[in-house]
């Protein structure tokens, strides 16, 4: 099997920990355990025995996750190492070479690259900037054939931060049901809505819907590497057996922290701290873009720690990102990572001072280029 490079993750992996100002993150400035938990909880973690634990996720955690989804119980849930593992298990366990996968673009390109490496045929449909990053439903409809096995989407979307309208959600579910195909929804950015109004889950809207989730974005706990799959019990059982071949289990400390964070009171506190940070930085970015209105255009994101900016400068996006990194020590994601030159993705989830310093450095390069 020939694996294509996952450009976004590979590029981030190379530089994100060595640049001074990393604005490539799509999540929020991470918590420390000390900020998050009380002394009693911390002490309990210190004395935990670090065995394997339950490989599909401890009962209490799966119950807690299932309580976030209407109609789900603990057997509808598999706990995974990040939502990245959830994506991997879904594609690996449900699709065969030559199957057709209809894939929303722009998108986080893990499923795209992986499916192509597995010999699955990808047929795209697009969110369109002129539609405020809503989908072209006619395009989706025209892509469905008898060979289609799955429609995979990301809502809220990476990189645009767009949230599907009610009508678009309904239309997508309708088309999936009519074609009797899996509808896989990457919902990792749910909970990180700037308005505070949580995006409705697709789960439960049709019997072949599977969704993922996790702690890396809205919860600002990337390093715990906790994600999950929620879907029909038969599928969850199958995905669990596939995870015997990937990572066996998630780690016990992360499981414990996840169980605590997802309890209603702490969950609310964490989500509201993160939304506040994102809204503050988005306000700053809107002002910054106003100052550069001849160079940048963007539709402000509704969710997630990122903004997707189209620019009007004669330079390729990878070159722009490289120059910013090499000359100014500030790192942004090139639109090329999403197959969309002339865009950059800017992380808006860092602490305000850090974010402002990063923007100032971008300003400096822009002045030099022009
Ligand atoms: C849409 C989307 N899905 C999945 C992931 C993987 O996230 P994690 O494995 O950290 O939960 C990311 C990371 O950026 C993402 O943007």
CATH number, residue 292:
3.90.1150.10
Distance CA 154, CA 152 (A): 7
- Which band of pLDDT confidence, cut at 50, 70 and 90, is reported for residue 279? very high
* Same domain? 298 vs 318: yes
CA-based end-to-end distance of the chain: 45
The neighbour count for residue 31, using CB atoms within 10 Å, is 21
The neighbour count for residue 113, using CB atoms within 10 Å, is 17
Please name the residue ranges forming H helices in 196-232.
none
Gap from CA of 144 to ligand 1 centroid (Å): 26
Average pLDDT, the chain: 97
Quick: pLDDT tens for 114-123.
999 999 999 9
Report CA torsion sign: 316, 321, 324, 327. Answer: negative
* Same domain? 202 vs 340: no
Gap from CA of 345 to ligand 1 centroid (Å): 15
Q: Is the pLDDT at 370 greater than 80, yes or no?
A: no
Q: Is the pLDDT at 147 greater than 80, yes or no?
A: yes
* Same domain? 116 vs 209: yes
Range of the domain at 288: 7-32+267-369
Quick: pLDDT tens for 226-240.
999 999 999 999 999
Q: Ligand 1 site: residues with CB under 6 angstroms?
A: 26, 82-84, 87, 108, 154, 158, 186, 188, 214, 216, 222, 227
* Same domain? 297 vs 164: no
Gap from CA of 370 to ligand 1 centroid (Å): 35
Query: Which residue's alpha carbon is at the smallest distance from atom 14 of ligand 1?
Result: 26
Quick: pLDDT tens for 186-227.
999 999 999 999 999 999 999 999 999 999 999 999 999 999
Distance CA 357, CA 348 (A): 12
- Which band of pLDDT confidence, cut at 50, 70 and 90, is reported for residue 139? very high
Gap from CA of 238 to ligand 1 centroid (Å): 22
The answer to whether residue 166 is domain-embedded is yes
Percent over 90 (pLDDT), the chain:
99
Gap from CA of 222 to ligand 1 centroid (Å): 9
Given the CA of residue 107, which atom of ligand 1 is nearest to it? 1
Instruction: Give the burial string for 230-241 (b: 16+ CB within 10 Å, else e).
Output: bbeeebbebbbe
The answer to whether residue 159 is domain-embedded is yes
* Same domain? 88 vs 234: yes
Distance CA 244, CA 142 (A): 38
Quick: pLDDT tens for 156-188.
999 999 999 999 999 999 999 999 999 999 999
The neighbour count for residue 52, using CB atoms within 10 Å, is 9
């Amino acid at each position: 099997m020939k694996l294509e490079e996952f450009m976004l993750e590979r590029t981030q992996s190379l530089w994100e920990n060595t640049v001074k100002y990393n604005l490539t993150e799509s999540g929020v400035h991470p918590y420390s355990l000390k900020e998050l938990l009380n002394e009693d909880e911390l002490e309990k973690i210190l004395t935990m025995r670090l065995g394997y634990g339950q490989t599909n996720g401890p009962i209490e955690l799966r119950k807690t996750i299932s309580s976030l989804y209407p109609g789900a119980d603990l057997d509808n849930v598999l706990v995974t190492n990040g939502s990245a593992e959830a994506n991997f298990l879904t594609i690996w366990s449900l699709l065969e070479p030559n199957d057709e996968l209809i894939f929303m673009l722009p998108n986080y390109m893990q499923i795209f690259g992986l499916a192509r490496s597995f010999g699955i045929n990808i047929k795209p449909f697009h969110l369109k900037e002129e539609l405020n990053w809503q989908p072209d439903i006619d395009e989706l409809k025209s892509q469905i054939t008898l060979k289609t096995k799955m429609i995979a989407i990301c809502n809220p979307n990476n990189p645009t931060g767009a949230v599907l309208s009610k009508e678009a959600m309904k239309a997508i579910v309708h088309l999936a049901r009519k074609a009797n195909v899996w509808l896989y929804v990457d919902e990792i950015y749910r909970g990180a809505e700037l308005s505070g109004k949580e995006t409705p889950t697709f789960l439960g809207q049709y019997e072949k819907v599977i969704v993922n989730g996790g702690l890396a974005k809205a919860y600002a706990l990337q390093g715990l590497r906790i994600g999950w799959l929620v879907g029909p019990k038969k599928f969850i059982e199958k995905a669990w057996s596939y995870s015997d071949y990937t990572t066996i289990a998630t780690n016990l400390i992360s499981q414990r922290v996840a169980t605590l964070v997802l309890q209603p009171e702490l969950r609310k506190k964490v989500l509201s701290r993160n939304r506040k940070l994102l809204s503050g930085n988005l306000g700053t970015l809107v002002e910054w873009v106003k100052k550069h209105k001849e160079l940048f255009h963007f539709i402000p994101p509704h969710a997630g720690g990122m903004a997707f900016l189209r620019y009007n400068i004669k330079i390729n996006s990878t070159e722009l990102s490289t120059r910013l990194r090499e000359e100014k020590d500030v790192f942004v994601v090139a639109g090329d990572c999403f197959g969309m030159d002339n865009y950059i993705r800017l992380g808006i989830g860092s602490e305000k001072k850090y974010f402002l310093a990063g923007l100032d450095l971008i300003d400096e390069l822009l002045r030099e280029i022009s």
